[in-house]
A and B are shown apart, each in its own frame.
Chain A
Amino acid sequence: MTGTLRAGLVLGGGLVLLAIVGPWIAPDPLAQPDLITGTLQSPSATHWFGTDQYSRDVFARLAAGARASLGIAVGAVVVATLLGTLVGLIAGGARGAAAEALRRAIDLLLGLPRLVVLLVLLAAVGPLTPLSLALVLGATGWPAIARLVRGETLRLRETGFVGAARALGASPLRILRRDILPGAMAPALVAATLGIADAILLEAGLSFIGLGIQPPAPTWGGMILEARDHIASAPWLLLAPGLALVVATTAATLIGDALRHRLLPGTR
């Protein structure tokens, strides 16, 4: 195992652990125990990361936010990868006008600014649950994967071993399954892992502008939004979710880079 992969797994594993064990070691993230004297307390033994303006425990909210943010990001990437791989295989495997139309459609979707599409979609979807947010993020993330898979499918289709499989009498579906899908999945997996970082930041950004999961449910982006008014007096409110975002995106990028070295040797 390379140092890159180890570092990524340690960082990412720490956050996943935090998300899983959070409910057992931290207080209720929604509880407001003391609105008179318990607000904006600095970090201490009882409140590891301090409390916010509603006297809620920041560590508990960070752990619950990890659960929401990581879950949504991973869910979004899974949806995007499945959709993108399916569309990419069809676009690369088909011939003629249909394939051309699909390619144009992918390029068109890639050309639209993702945030604008998201705003429209989120407005259409209405009240958000973590699941629907993951689906919406996934629905806007697949064209990048589709283009990768399409390109790889086109390349693999011309290889000698696909020609040999056709000469042996393999059906198109068999060739797709045995010779093309495994090869095309490698770049898709790398892109998906790197895409987790994007999805985390996108979800935080949406929550920050008030379009993600609605308060009082804790998310990292929402926590940053609520910390704005107290940056000077209670910087831990901003630092905790901010650092969590840095750690999460760094972990996803490191793991993605390590995967690329493993699955796609020769690329940088």
Chain B
Amino acid sequence: MSTPLLEVEGLVKHFASGGVLRRAAPAVRAVDGVTFTIAPGETLGLVGESGSGKTTVGRTILRLETPTAGIVRFEGVDLSTLTAPALRAMRRRMQLVAQDPFGSLNPRHTIEASIAEGLLIHQITERVALRERVAALLQEVGLDASYASRYPHEFSGGQRQRIGIARALAVEPRFLVCDEPVSALDVSVQAQVLNLLMDLREQRGLSYLFIAHDLAVVRQVAHRIAVMYLGTIVEIGPARTLIATPRHPYTQALISAIPDPARRRQRIVLTGEPPSPTAPLPGCPFAPRCFHPARDSRCTNERPALRSADGHGVACHYAE
């Protein structure tokens, strides 16, 4: 295997609350020790329910949040060692496609101004050639070049998401964090945007961290899938094997929720809520909701480590 493009090691992000005059509440452990790598050209799907910390993983990798602990290496460079200007220069190489197509474009800027922002910041394109470059980017994401002079409110969610993708592509990144890029869109539009992302990956040799809560979406684009639960990765492996033979009970529950006309699967319905991210349990975070027949006191007392075999890792004491 070639050297990874992105290496994430023991990433931790806690959000402290409270201020100067307020009593400090216990920190929210949004990400609690996450490790994975992404190879050049590879797409890692990151799935998990709301609050599992998957968005925070993406934002922390991009340094939109400062990690509490852990290392993020991009192209072999530890991002925490970079000075602020060096980090801003590095941002050319890694970009964000955000979930909310309505909030992610400044309503006061034309589409051209939004897309050209990165070109201007990194002085990639001469000012005289800006218009042409923006037009080419719009066409690359399947939009008409004449849209450049319009404002965001004139566009649909799918079109805005394409504009957001064009803005990210403008600086010619190698790696995109796609944070739920289609979950705000209608199903018919979802497929179009997914296809666009897959075409761009092909044409530009991009790598993605593809964050979503919907396994059915992730399995269409991801080469490998990581499943997050309460700030940790409970299972990670090649998309095909993970979907076909999920080893962690939580993954099994997620997969049983995907409708499959060919096979009628027994739907596993989880009961209860995930435990509070402010008061971590000593044992397995999934133990309170687990349905595994072998579960016992070890699950509630000892946190299972991620055990790997053949590139398929699972954090469960009793996974077969």
Contact = CB atoms under 8 A, between A and B. Distances in A.
Interface of A: 97, 100, 159-161, 163-171, 174, 178-179, 182-183
B118 interface: yes
Given A100-B19, A163-B64, A163-B96, A168 B118 contact: yes
Contacts of A169: 87-92, 118, 121-122, 171
B121 A170 contact: yes
11 contacts: A100-B19, A160-B103, A161-B103, A161-B104, A161-B114, A164-B104, A164-B164, A169-B171, A171-B88, A178-B106, A179-B106
Contacts of A183: 106, 108
A32 B27 CA distance: 76
B106 A161 contact: yes
B172 interface: no
B91 A167 contact: yes
10 cross-chain pairs, A with B, having the tightest CB-CB distances, nearest first: A160-B104, A160-B103, A169-B91, A169-B88, A167-B96, A161-B106, A168-B118, A160-B98, A160-B100, A169-B121
B20 interface: yes
Interface string B111-126: 0001001100110000
Interface in B66-117: 87-92, 95-96, 98, 100, 103-106, 108-109, 114, 117
A257 B96 CA distance: 39
B212 interface: no
A251 to B, nearest CB: 28
A182 B113 CA distance: 14
Given A168-B118, A170-B117, A161 B95 contact: no
B167 interface: yes
Contact of A164 (B89, B108, B167): B167
Contact of A168 (B87, B103, B109, B117): B117
Nearest to B21: A100
Interface of B: 19-20, 59, 62, 64, 87-92, 95-96, 98, 100, 103-106, 108-109, 114, 117-118, 121-122, 164, 167-168, 171
B117 A182 contact: no
A182 B108 CA distance: 8
Contacts of A174: 121
A159 B103 contact: yes
Nearest to B152: A161
Contacts of A182: 108
Given A160-B103, A161-B104, A167-B62, 16 more contacts: A97-B20, A159-B103, A160-B105, A161-B103, A161-B105, A161-B114, A163-B96, A163-B104, A164-B98, A164-B105, A166-B64, A167-B96, A169-B90, A169-B118, A169-B171, A170-B117
A266 B122 CA distance: 37
A7 B139 CA distance: 48
Contacts of B87: 169
A159 B89 CA distance: 22
A177 to B, nearest CB: 12
Task: Identify the interface centre among B59, B117, B167: most chain A CB within 10 Å of its CB.
Answer: B117
Contact of A167 (B19, B20, B95, B106): B95
A2 to B, nearest CB: 21
Contacts of A97: 20
Contacts of B168: 167
Nearest to A170: B121
Task: Identify the interface centre among A97, A159, A167: most chain B CB within 10 Å of its CB.
Answer: A167
A37 B91 CA distance: 83
Given A164-B98, A169-B121, A100 B104 contact: no
Contacts of B164: 164
Contacts of B62: 167
Contacts of B20: 97, 100
A164 B96 contact: yes
Contacts of B122: 169
A168 B106 contact: no
A90 to B, nearest CB: 17
Contacts of A165: 117
Contacts of B108: 182-183
Contacts of B90: 169
Task: Identify the interface centre among A161, A171, A183: most chain B CB within 10 Å of its CB.
Answer: A161
A170 B106 CA distance: 14
Contacts of B109: 161, 178
Contacts of B114: 161
Nearest to A165: B117
Nearest to A166: B64
Contacts of A168: 91, 95, 117-118, 121, 167, 171
A179 to B, nearest CB: 6
Task: Identify the interface centre among B62, B118, B168: most chain A CB within 10 Å of its CB.
Answer: B118
Nearest to B95: A167
A183 B108 CA distance: 8
Contacts of B92: 169
Contacts of B88: 169-171
A126 B104 CA distance: 53
Nearest to A156: B106
Task: Identify the interface centre among A164, A166, A174, A178: most chain B CB within 10 Å of its CB.
Answer: A164
Contacts of B106: 161, 178-179, 183
A234 to B, nearest CB: 54
B193 to A, nearest CB: 16
